Structure 1
Amino acid sequence: MADNSELQTGDVAPEFTAFDSEGNSISLKELTAEGKYVILYFYPKDSTPGCTIQACDFRDSMETLKSNNVVVLGVSKDSEKSHQNFIKKQSLNFPLLLDEDLNIHNKYGVWKEKSMYGKTYMGTARSTFVIGPDGMLKFVNYKVKAKGHVETLLDELKWNE
């Protein structure tokens, strides 16, 4: 069941620990304890046009992000194998977390009712959260447009200077 309540900038980020496509355990608490900013972005499906654009934009901005002490984590409900193929095909340089049980999706309120061609269904709302080293949400967007999102995010957070 989906939790449709939306988080706001200034809220405490919901804690999670999840495996990436290589079997590594990744904990939000550990990353923030290391003083990292975390960009947690949710996307609907590996290897689809919009999701590929967004992932490649994060990939291409990684030098700027790392210089600002930022870790990028992508999340979808795709399988480990799907994530591995997506990472390899697009040469992604950041982890994709496994969330097939929608645990993280539900904590962040991104599993939502959507509609297409007059039909409603449940799916991932393309969303981005920036979590500070203090564990607080610094940026929240539940209506991300894939194209140009990363550059807009960098500008908004003043990480593009």
Structure 2
Amino acid sequence: MLGILTRRAMQSRAVGWEAGRLPFRPVLAWLGMLGLCAAYLQGGLDKLFGPAAAIAETAALHVPMPALATAATVVTELAGSLMVLAGWHRRLGALWLAAFTAVANMLANAWWSVPAGPLRTAMENGFFEHIGLIGGFVLIVIQGSSVRNR
């Protein structure tokens, strides 16, 4: 009953943002996607222009064939980000980055395998921050290119 009353009250005064009309929605949506992709763009470019350090970082995670894995990471971070930002197969790009982030997160932020202390805390925080990125990409997969003002 309370839900019905609350819904009716909101409908009776639904104007502006309450009615789902968000000013500059496409711009805000794109800026939000840029925020999600920023670390991937920066990381991909760093790895592209500093391959020796990138391969060493990948090797330190005990990933087989670190040079090939690093090359795949560069392609994933840059191509996936550009797909999301350009709107070209946006859902596929977001899904690609979400899956990549899930795998990379398990490899790089395995906090459960580190003894208690500052390193474990930092890794745990990083792990859950990456879960948030995955969630953002999943929302893009669900919403797709629907960023028009409603």
TM-score normalised by length of structure 2 = 0.23
Greater Cα radius of gyration, structure 1 or 2:
2
Which structure would you say has the larger RCO, counting Cα contacts within 8 Å and 6 or more residues apart? Answer: 1
Higher strand share: 1
Higher helix share: 2
